Structure 1
């Protein structure tokens, strides 16, 4: 709690008060109370000291030592390195040639020393509150900030024990690349070396849906399995038990470094080390004491680790198993024990999963019963044996691969088929603070019911009631909310109606991609739909889009559509006439047709109504698709609130719109046409609409100069307020009880306007 207070809010220190009162009530000795307070204060001050970096000034040229956390993708090298002043920095370097990239790919960088020339770069803001936050990532690894490196010159090769271990890991990775079939390489690297970068994204998503991604993380189960094999092998070599134990004490930390040192690995290794050392020193510790000591050591060495999801899940699941051991040991069969282990682990970490990923797998309660033993008892040993044999008996190994690969590919096909079954995820959205409290109360109550051996039917109350409260809370929200997502140089707007009556998505963003040399391309290109829009939908607890509107066929409005269709249920698609014949829409159209989603062409005069909200299409006026001026323009009216979403409408289209719909005026919200281009937002159009707030959806430092400075000046001269996603991030406009509230993701300011006055 003290470290959490140092990282987050100092108010968390008050959580110590109930514990201290409990200790006093139970008449704990004064020495214990003073010790508790002293330890709490120490960890708070220590965390503040470790996470507070005195100065972010850095020499333009300095010497840095690379850590094990780094990646090479496309033309970029990214990762953490430590300066001569012992500050950790996240460094981004762009290779100048393919030859330089190949040189870096063919060596181990961990513990290598480089002279780097560069400068501090601002930490990028997240697109919205539901995606990867770079600042949190830096804090979790104790980094001072980000550096953009312009030159890198190697000073020395990796040396010392850390460098040697890292080089062995690198050589083992290259050995797998050379001798394992391509289809089996990713799994072998993940299970044996803790390298998960090569896992196929579609397979990884299938594992997420089934709740079995943890099987590809080296966990306590892996460590226990390998420790047992190593120990038994030493005994069979006639090595005395005491010597074998000391060998374990020495080798386990080496193994932890060899497989990347993930929190789950160090947690398992740390507990075993502490238990073995206490036994050797004839001071036996209980497992829970060893567990607590390992936790304190971990937090002391790296306070920011509390922010890492892997740390939270690893220690969370281990805590559940540790304190549920009496209940688990009382089970009368292996099947019952396996079921309750799976059940308790899934329930115990559910609040953490919901907080970070906004969804949990419902099928995981059953699927893990099959896949945990399958991976632990069969697949992991097979990979270990094949890897070992590949050093000595290549012909035999190749023959075994011929037998194993088809079976493993059949299993992958089965997993993908299993993951394609709908409705396997519960997605209530990101939990608020009070919802987290409700979730934890439900978890604790469930454990009490099982521990006290109450009737299992009480689980319906301890689990069902919190689920109903969390799921049902969104239906009590009486506001309409419009969110302009920060998708860079593109458009994506989400409309959420009151009481979950409906969800409308207008466009899906996209990137303007340009031809590059093959060596500069990343193996997994950035997808705006999957990595920005889908997380926003999940974070809001949205599982279904009622109407998905494609305003026109430009890639910066439509490229993310295919990924959204694959991840979220869509009831129907509205598109401007003639656009579906455009090349840029073909992938999305084919995906929609394969999923039997109706695609309906709409134009001026058509529309639909959901309860008290009217949606009317006011452009285009004809069925001939010619580009921006044929954007499908949506007019929204809800109570006193009015909004116009114009796609890429330009001046000619604006004039045509006003000729037909001259009654549209004095609107509350306008999404400016064509990102604020000088060809849109004409003075006549603005004079007529008089928008209370206009949003420019544009990327930071975009090559087009959007929004155009002349257009911005036009709004200023007319005294019409504007906001740009490039400057303030995702923009939320909320209307409830005749009051409009505006908040943004970059600048956490909130503005209100009362429409009743």
Structure 2
């Protein structure tokens, strides 16, 4: 139960809110609010105490019920199941053949199968500010990842209403997948069923980057349009207003299940149900009362909703719009109303977006003004109409599908091109507490002043206050005296990020990379994990970094340079540093070619060179004379960072080490990045004795096939009482320093390996 604590921001606003209620209204209101908070805390702790597993780690076999639509992507299958004890598990399975894949596609929600495999504890994030998948599963009452070895004896399970609805949902998703083009099916599934697994990843990232990703999720806008359309249809068919409301009260819970039950759908549907119930019983409540009641009920049912980004955004934006409705309705111009609605939504969502995603789009406001009506008037109605008609008749429906596909194709191109314009997005990093507090205060002042006097003149001072806040936020790095060295956990590979104090330089040594093997067409996956896009770039964005003053590539092995092209295309790289003899294959040639086209300065270095960045210097200790080995010709860097001497060795092996020791007989270091991931072909006794490091860092993949680091190397280091940090056991390794003193941290923070 240690997860829940009052974050400083929540403590500040809760206290302020209670004081405001006490002074502005009656003390009983503040007392009632305090009681509500205590009820929530009690509910949370009770839920947390019962959110425990009954299973044990290791081998497990059982007849389980498939509780969600299995997702099959290439040769990979995943989903959730429920055991006979009622406990949910998330599972993954590597499909072995095309025949097996076709059989697995027949599995449906509600089926019972025998699953055999191994239960593993979900891993915590291994990088700072990374998505906490383990906590996410915990909040969904899931405590194990089930690595499946075999699936057999599948048959239909017992009938129940929930399973029936889930099967109808699956049929709808399958229909869209079969009838709509691949570039359109993901959007239509997202809009109609809240399912985003088939969305083109590049398109989804572009929508998110531009601040319009909410259009791809079922929200109050979608629910309102669907309910309004259904209500109008019922009235047209001669059903009375009261009976129409009663029908929709019954249908909306079904709709919530069919669309996956996301917080925004539940919130919007629940609010509509309450409005209709009040209409039937002839009671009147304000919109703010209704939204507050739905929020409290949902948190009482599931207190974990409070920590979900979708829940937070849905309620804060909806509440902001409701509180601004008086001002919005004062203007007769549709354009002005749309401008105010979009602005209010942007201002309300901003602190949450920055806190969770670390960047803001400068063109989000105009794009929302264009795309919200575009999706409301065109895309959503056309998607519904095309899906409904094509389900009855392909002949009649396919022309609509084609029209929708053409429109979406052009809109996707526009979005992708807009997202690629670098100056339209500002990356702030995770904002500090003072920024969130003052942003919220300034925004509230802006809203109050505009409500009192709805003119542009009334917004001048608070708007200038917001600009000042962002100016300070973007320039914090220039007054920050702290620097860092981050050994990024890239699995079996190397990637080390260095950030100098006062924004004097950002450098990345190697990029990591995944080995690829020949695959058949059926094995190819739609969504492929990328170290750069899923680990490195999100981490850099979380600390406000989008520019690299130097990208150092030690040598041409894929596990060191495999992500270089993505990083060069996604980040502003000023200089590419490579060793002489670097180009020995197609990938190395392509990297240099792309860097040249992008006008990135390319420096080819060898032993004896010095690279000076303001008052910070890298010394190049290798390569000197070239050999036939990429590893032996790795670029080796020496730098003094945070009061420590660091030696970055790439994959340098013993022959290269001997050359270095001969050329630099008096070399001593404090931190040694162990060569070649701890292979026995590197890190000789002579090297360790001559360098005499106090700290060794090993970058290797967890349970890698090469069994790095080798026992012989570990024994050498232990025998000399050298402190060891390993990415395979301790995740990302961070050294934060100020001046000549610093501290090492690990993520997750396990004890130092001895």
TM over 0.5: yes
> Residues 290, 524 of structure 1: CA spacing in aligned structure 2 closer, same or farther, 3 A cutoff?
same
- 1:143-158 matches, cutoff 5 A: 143-152=142-151, 153-154=153-154, 156-157=156-157
Taking the TM superposition and a 5 Å limit, the aligned residue runs for 1:429-448 are 429-448=429-448
CA spacing shift, 1:138–1:593, aligned 2, 3 Å: same
- TM-score, scaled relative to structure 2: 0.93
Provide the residue aligned with 1:341 in structure 2: 341
Match of 2:605 in 1: 602
**Contact map agreement 2:498 2:507 (CA 8 A) in 1:** yes
Distance in 1 (CA, whole Å) between partners of 2:220 and 2:639 is: 54
* Aligned match of 1:747: 749
Partners in 2 of 1:587 and 1:616 — Cα distance? 27
Name 1:56's counterpart in structure 2.
Answer: 53
- Give the equivalent residue in structure 1 for 2:78: 78
Question: Closer, same or farther in 2 for the Cα pair 1:181/1:528, shift >3 Å?
Answer: same
Secondary structure of 1:173's counterpart equals helix
**Partner residue, 1:414:** 414
d(CA) in 2 for partners of 1:21 and 1:320? Answer: 21
- Deviations along 1:652-681, one digit per CA (max 9) or x if unpaired, are 11111122233421x222211111111111
Give 1:691 shift. 1.6
Conserved? CA contact 2:382–2:400, under 8 Å: no
Q: Deviations over 1:525-566 (max 9, x none)?
A: 111111111111111110100110111000111111122122
- The more displaced of 570-579 and 175-184 is 175-184
Q: What displacement does 1:127 show?
A: 2.7
Q: Structure 1 residues 132, 105: CA separation in 2 closer, same or farther (over 3 Å shift)?
A: farther
Q: Per-residue deviation at 1:118?
A: 4.5
Q: Please give the secondary structure, in 1, of the residue aligned with 2:123.
A: coil
1: distance between equivalents of 2:115 and 2:284?
Answer: 49
* Shift of residue 180, structure 1, vs aligned partner: 2.0
Q: Contact conserved, 1:51 with 1:142, CA < 8 A, in 2? A: no
The alpha-carbon distance between structure 1 residues 70 and 353, as it changes in their structure 2 partners (threshold 3 A), is farther
Alignment of 1:527-542 (within 5 A): 527-542=530-545
Q: Which residue of 2 aligns with 1:297?
A: 297
Question: With structure 1 as the length reference, what TM-score do the two structures score?
Answer: 0.92
Offset, 1:113: 3.8
What secondary structure sits across from 2:472 in the alignment? helix
Confirm whether residue 545 of structure 1 aligns to residue 544 of structure 2. Answer: no
Decide whether the 8 Å contact of 2:81 with 2:90 is kept in 1. yes
Asked if 1 retains the 8 angstrom alpha-carbon contact of 2:651 and 2:676, the reply is: yes
Find the partner of 1:28 among 11, 26, 29.
Answer: 26
Whether contact under 8 Å (2:107, 2:154) holds in the other structure is no
Cα 1:615/1:193, change in 2 over 3 Å: same
Match of 1:617 in 2: 620
Match of residue 397 from structure 2: 397
Cα distance in 2 between the residues matched to 1:638 and 1:694: 15
Give structure 2 stretches of 5+ with no counterpart: none
Compared with structure 1, are the counterparts of its residues 119 and 41 closer, same or farther at alpha carbon in structure 2 (3 Å cutoff)? farther
Per the alignment, residue 754 of structure 1 pairs with none
Within 5 A, what are the aligned runs for 1:649-660?
649-660=652-663
Displacement of 1:230: 0.6
Root-mean-square deviation (CA, aligned residues, Å) is 2.6
Residues 740, 181 of structure 1: alpha-carbon distance in 2 compared, 3 angstrom cutoff: closer
**Paired position in structure 2 for 1:646:** 649
Partner of 1:694: 696
1:239-265 Cα deviation digits (max 9, x unpaired): 111111111111112122112221111
- The question of whether the paired residues in 2 share the 8 Å contact of 1:510 and 1:560 is answered with yes
Q: 1:113 to 1:288 in 2, by over 3 A?
A: farther
Q: Is the 8 A contact 2:70 2:107 kept in 1?
A: no
- Cα deviation for residue 375 of structure 1 reads 1.3
Q: Aligned partners of 1:691, 1:646: CA distance in 2, in Å? A: 13
Indicate the residue corresponding to 1:132 in structure 2: 131
Is it true that 1:723 corresponds to 2:725 in the alignment? yes
Asked if structure 1 preserves the Cα contact closer than 8 Å seen for 2:667 and 2:691, the reply is yes
SS where residue 188 of structure 1 aligns? helix
Question: How do 1:541-620 and structure 2 match up within 5 A?
Answer: 541-620=544-623
- Structure 1 residue corresponding to 2:484, chosen from 472, 481, 486: 481
SS in 2 for 1:381: helix
Asked whether the 8 Å contact 1:142–1:304 carries over to 2, the reply is no
Q: Tell whether the 8 Å contact from 2:643 to 2:741 is kept in structure 1 after alignment.
A: no
What residue in structure 2 maps to residue 737 of structure 1? Answer: 739
Q: Secondary structure at the match of 2:583?
A: helix
Q: Distance in 1 between matches of 2:363 and 2:752?
A: 40
Q: Aligned pair in 2 of structure 1 residues 272, 706: CA closer, same or farther (>3 Å)?
A: same
Partner residue in 1 for 2:469: 466
Residue in structure 2 matched with residue 355 of structure 1 by the alignment: 355
Quick one: distance in 2 between partners of 1:583 and 1:458? 57
**Matching residue of 2:208:** 208
Cα distance in 1, alignment partners of residues 344 and 202 from structure 2: 28
- Find the aligned partners of 2:180 and 2:268 in 1 and give their Cα distance: 29
Query: Please, which runs of 5 or more residues in structure 1 have no aligned partner?
Result: 752-757
Distance of 2:48 and 2:149 partners within structure 1:
27
- Give 1:600 deviation, angstroms: 2.6
